[in-house]
Amino acid sequence: MHVDFAVVGAGPAGAHIAGALARTGFKVALVEQYGRGRDKPCGGLIDLALWDMLGSARNGLPAWPIRGTAVFSLGTNHITFRSEKTRSYAVFRSELDTLLSDRAEQCGANLLENTKVRGIKYNDSGVRLINGNGTAITSDMVVGADGTYSIVARSANLRPEVGHSELIFCLVSEFPLGQSRLEREIEDINTIEVYMLGGLGYGWVIPKGDYVNIGCGQAYDHLQNSNELWRKFLRTLHRHSRFVYTKIPRPKGYFYRSLKGPVVRTYADRTVLLGDAAGFANNLSGEGIWPAIQSADIALPVLERAFTNGDYSTSALELYEKNWKRRFQSEFIRKQKLLQLITQISIIRKGFLGRLIGVQAWSEGETFDRALQFIKDHKELYYMLNEVYQHRNAAVVVLPKLKKKLPSFALDYFGTSLYRRLRGEQPNY
């Protein structure tokens, strides 16, 4: 089979670009190693912008509005941010991927299911995909939308082996519980719950009507034992009186790359990378469905132009990288800094500042507990953070305000404790 564009991977990125290219009139093969609607471990939280983009197609998609986030510390404290408006939707991942694949087919893309790409060869006239089922596809260009372990990225020398320090290991269980039971188990059925587990570990509870999605993850470098991570998460849930008498089905394990942000280069001769293959998942929250779709939208005009000019060279495709950087690189950098700050809490605790203000004596759980308490005690700070939560463009509106306020909070906080410590008194928060 010969096509204009071969897209590897029918996740959100691949299905979306395949549909868009086919709608424009190109011959497209969308190659997927599994069947449609495979069960993929995922929280299934989608951005409002994606919800809007789905338009009338979303009518058949079961989805639950999310209007709040409750953050639980390792200890016993928790804090809830709420909005009047819907902030995101919780969906079943298999249903979303099926919808996007169906749409790509309706636009004219040729979806090849149960077809695993095992090798990719480049020559002067195009690209040849060699599939596990013995078939081959030739094309002018290949789009790598094949996730964390992208064979396209490796074949085009765009990414060396994925290092441990880039990976998060996750465990997820999604199961029916019944809505009334779920209402009794959690704070609110339109609020997701996020749990701090220490050691760069976190957990979540995402309500989905009759179902619930429960999962946890940890930076792979910090993971000692996946069973222990799950047990620690269950203990934390129980401490907060969640799911004490519920038999949670065995979770499925999954690795994904999120900690390091995008790969060094996302294009090569006759090749571009989208979504997780390019490392576009949010490096703080791990959410990657919307960035995957956005990267497809950014690539589309560049691919059209390459076809029109018959130029698939590196220099012609460089524009893709320039454009996605313009759109979301500054956000990646901001989140990377925030991530560093979070990972450095333990360093601060053990360091000079920690000794001065006494936090080195606190456990990690206690540090988070006190941080949440601090936000609760300073109502103005809480309202501002809640405002950040509520408004989509809050970063623009609220952060400058927050910046002005923060120094005084910080001074108040650290200054008082420093003063007390120097006088030999216990810091009092």
List the structure tokens of 9: 């991977």
User: Do 143 and 153 contact (CB within 8 A), yes or no?
Assistant: no
- Compute the distance between CA of residue 302 and CA of residue 272 in angstroms, rounded to an integer: 10
Least spacing, CB of residue 26 vs ligand FAD, in Å: 19
| Closest-CA residue to 42 (of 151, 149, 171) | 171
DSSP 383-422: HHHHHHHH-TTHHHHHHHHHHHHHHHHHIIIIIHHHHHHH
- Select 275 or 354, whichever has its Cβ closest to ligand FAD: 275
- The nearest distance, CB 283 to ligand FAD, in angstroms, is 11
Strand order in the sheet with 68-72: 78-82, 68-72, 191-198, 201-208, 211-219, 167-176, 252-257
In angstroms, what is the minimal distance from the CB of 76 to ligand FAD?
A: 26
Rounded to a whole number of angstroms, the minimum distance from the CB of residue 148 to ligand FAD is: 7
Q: How far apart are CA 252 and CA 231, in angstroms?
A: 14
* Minimum distance from residue 24 beta carbon to ligand FAD (Å): 20
**Of 42 and 212, which has the nearer Cβ to ligand FAD?**
42
Please, what is the minimum distance in Å from the beta carbon of residue 64 to ligand FAD?
13
- φ/ψ of 409, rounded to 5, equals -60, -50
CA 116, 121, 124 angle in degrees (round to 5)?
145
Give the separation between CA 376 and CA 412, rounded to whole angstroms. Answer: 15
Q: Which is nearer to ligand FAD, 273 or 384 (CB)?
A: 273
Q: Which is nearer to ligand FAD, 145 or 375 (CB)?
A: 145
Give the interface with ligand FAD as residue ranges (CB under 6 A): 8-14, 31-34, 41-45, 116-117, 145-147, 151, 170, 172, 215, 254, 256, 275-277, 281, 286-290, 292
CB closer to ligand FAD, 135 vs 344: 135
**What residue type is 361 in one-letter code?**
A
Strand 167-176 to 28-31 pairing: unpaired
Shortest Cβ distance from residue 11 to ligand FAD (Å)?
2
- Considering beta carbons, is residue 150 or 367 the nearer one to ligand FAD? 150
The answer to whether the beta carbons of residues 29 and 21 sit under 8 Å apart is no
If the CB atoms of residues 274 and 357 are measured against ligand FAD, the closer one turns out to be: 274
Look at residues 30, 39, 51, 34 and name the one whose alpha carbon lies nearest to residue 104: 30
Residues 6 or more apart whose Cβ sits within 8 Å of residue 181: 246
Enumerate residues 6+ apart whose C-beta is below 8 A from 12.
96, 97, 100, 275, 289, 292, 293
Q: In b/e form, how buried is each residue of 302-337, taking b as 16+ CB within 10 angstroms? A: bbeebbeeeebeeebbebbbeebeeebeeebeebee
CB of 255 to ligand FAD, least distance (A): 8
Closest distance between ligand FAD and the C-beta of residue 136, in Å?
13
Residue 4 or 32 with smaller CB distance to ligand FAD? 32
Nearest distance in Å: CB 208, ligand FAD: 11
Measured distance CA(297)–CA(300) in Å, rounded: 5
Contact indicator for 114, 133 with CB cutoff of 8 Å: yes
Task: Provide the greatest CA pair distance for the chain.
Answer: 79
CB closer to ligand FAD out of 231 and 355: 231
Between 193 and 276, name the residue whose CB sits nearer to ligand FAD.
Answer: 276
